A and B are shown apart, each in its own frame.
Chain A
Amino acid sequence: MSPPVIGLIGVAALLVLIGMRVPVAIAMGTVGVVGGVIINGWHSLGFVLGSQPFVTVFPYSLSVIPLFVMMGAFAARAGLSASLYQALHALIGHWRGGLASATIGACALFGAVCGSSLATAATMARVAIPEMRALGYDDRLSGGVVAAGGTLGILIPPSIIMVIYAIMTEQSIGRLFLAGMVPGVLAAGLYMIAVYVVARLRPSWAPRAPRSNAAARWAAIVQMAPVVVLFVAVMGSIYLNIASPTEAAAVGAFGAMLLAAFYKRLTIDVIRESLIETAGTTAIIFLILVGTSILQFFIETSTLPSLLLDHINYFGLSPLGVLVLILIIYIVLGCFLDSLSMMLITLPIFFPLIVKLGYDPIWFGVLVTSVVEIGLITPPVGMNLFVIVSVDERMKFETVAAGVLPFLAADCVRLVLLVSFPILSLFLPKLLMG
Chain B
Amino acid sequence: MTAGGRRCLTPPPSLPQEERTKKTCTMQRFLKMLSLIGTAALVIGVLLTMTDIGLRSFSTLTVKGIVDIMQLCVLVGAMLAIPYGFASDQHVAIDLFVERMPVRAQIALRIFAAVLAVLFLAGVFWFSLQQALTEQAGGDRSQTIGIPMIWYWTPFLIGIGLSVLASVVVIVRLARQGLPKGQASKG
- Residues on A facing B (Cβ under 8 Å): 17-27, 29-30, 33, 45-46, 49-51, 53-54, 57-60, 62-63, 66-67, 70, 242-243, 246-247, 250-251, 253-254, 272, 275-276, 278-280, 282-284, 286-288, 290, 336-338, 340-341, 380-381, 383
Check if A20 sits within 8 Å of B98, measured CB to CB. Answer: yes
In chain B, what residue has the closest Cβ to A237? B53
Distance, CA A59 to CA B106, complexed state (A): 38
Contact between B131 and A50 (Cβ–Cβ < 8 Å)? yes
A283 to B87, CA, bound (A): 12
Work out how many contacts link A and B, with CB atoms closer than 8 A: 192
The answer, yes or no, to whether B187 is at the interface (CB within 8 Å) is no
| Chain A minimum-CB-distance residue to B129 | A50
Q: How far is the CA of A387 from the CA of B110 in the complex (A)?
A: 24
* Apart from A33-B123, A66-B42, A280-B3: 18 A-B pairs, beta carbons within 8 A: A20-B109, A21-B98, A21-B106, A21-B110, A23-B91, A25-B92, A33-B120, A45-B127, A50-B127, A50-B130, A70-B42, A254-B46, A254-B50, A276-B32, A279-B35, A282-B77, A286-B79, A380-B96
Residues of B within 8 A of A290 (CB): 124
Q: A253 and B46: CB pair below 8 A?
A: yes
CB <8 Å contact, A287 and B91 = yes
Whose C-beta in chain A lies nearest to the C-beta of B110?
A: A21
Q: Is B1 interfacial (CB 8 A cutoff)?
A: yes
Given A17, A23, A57, which contacts B156 in the complex, CB threshold below 8 Å? Answer: A57
Q: How far is the CA of A17 from the CA of B46 in the complex (A)?
A: 38
Whether the Cβ atoms of B46 and A283 lie closer than 8 Å is no
Q: Identify which of B49, B93, B109, B119 contacts A246 (C-beta below 8 A).
A: B49
Please determine whether B36 and A275 come into contact, CB atoms closer than 8 angstroms. yes
Q: Closest 8 A-B residue pairs measured CB to CB?
A: A50-B127, A283-B81, A279-B81, A250-B49, A49-B127, A279-B35, A275-B39, A23-B91
Given A22, A25, A67, A253, which contacts B112 in the complex, CB threshold below 8 Å? A22
The interface residues of chain B lying within 8 Å CB-to-CB of A21 are 93-95, 97-98, 106, 109-110, 113
Q: Taking the nearest CB of chain B, how far is it from the CB of A213, in angstroms?
A: 40
- By a CB distance below 8 angstroms, the chain B residues around A22 are 93, 112-113, 116-117
| Interchain CA distance A60-B52 in the complex, whole Å | 16
8 Å CB contact of A57 from B42, B53, B78: B78
A53 to chain B: which residues have CB within 8 Å? Answer: 124, 128, 156, 160
Q: Given A45-B127, A60-B67, A254-B46, are A283 and B78 neighbors across the interface (CB < 8 Å)?
A: yes
Residues of A with C-beta under 8 A to B84: 279-280, 283
Residue with the greatest number of chain A CB neighbours at <10 A, chosen from B94, B95, B97? B94
Does A279 contact B94, Cβ atoms closer than 8 Å?
no
CA distance A89 to B125 in the complex (A): 53
Residues of B within 8 A of A287 (CB): 82, 85, 91
Task: Report yes or no: A279 in contact with B39, Cβ–Cβ below 8 A.
Answer: yes
Is B21 an interface residue when CB atoms closer than 8 A count as contact?
no
In the bound complex, how far is the Cα of B163 from the Cα of A348, in angstroms?
Answer: 26
Interface centre among A23, A30, A383 (most CB of B within 10 A): A23
Report yes or no: A250 in contact with B79, Cβ–Cβ below 8 A. no
What are the interface flags for B119-163 relative to A under an 8 Å C-beta threshold, 1 for contact and 0 otherwise? 111011011101100000000000000000000110010001000
Which residues of chain A are near B97, meaning CB under 8 Å?
Answer: 19-21
Contact B53–A340 (Cβ < 8 Å): no
Interchain CA distance A243-B35 in the complex, whole Å: 28
Q: Could you tell me the distance in whole angstroms from the C-beta of A2 to the nearest C-beta in chain B?
A: 26
What CA separation (Å) do A51 and B131 show in the bound complex? 7
CA of A407 to CA of B141, assembled, Å: 52
Q: Which residues of A are found within 8 Å of B36, using beta-carbon distances?
A: 272, 275-276, 279
Closest chain A residue, CB of each to CB of B32 = A276
Contact A54 B128 (CB under 8 A): yes
Contact A280/B127 with A70-B46, A286-B78, A287-B82 known, Cβ cut-off 8 Å: no
- Report whether B123 and A49 are in contact in the complex, using a CB–CB cutoff of 8 Å: yes
Q: Determine which of A18, A19, A250, A340 lies in contact with B46 in the assembled complex, contact meaning CB atoms within 8 Å.
A: A250
**B75-A57 in contact (CB<8A):** yes
27 contacts between A and B (CB under 8 A): A20-B109, A20-B113, A21-B94, A23-B113, A23-B117, A26-B91, A26-B116, A26-B121, A30-B119, A46-B130, A57-B75, A63-B70, A70-B39, A247-B52, A250-B45, A250-B50, A254-B47, A275-B40, A279-B39, A279-B84, A280-B3, A280-B84, A282-B42, A283-B91, A337-B94, A380-B96, A383-B1
Within 8 A of A (CB), among B42-86: 42-43, 45-47, 49-50, 52-53, 57, 67, 70-71, 73-75, 77-82, 84-85
Q: Which of B4, B80, B82, B126 has the most CB of A within 10 A?
A: B82
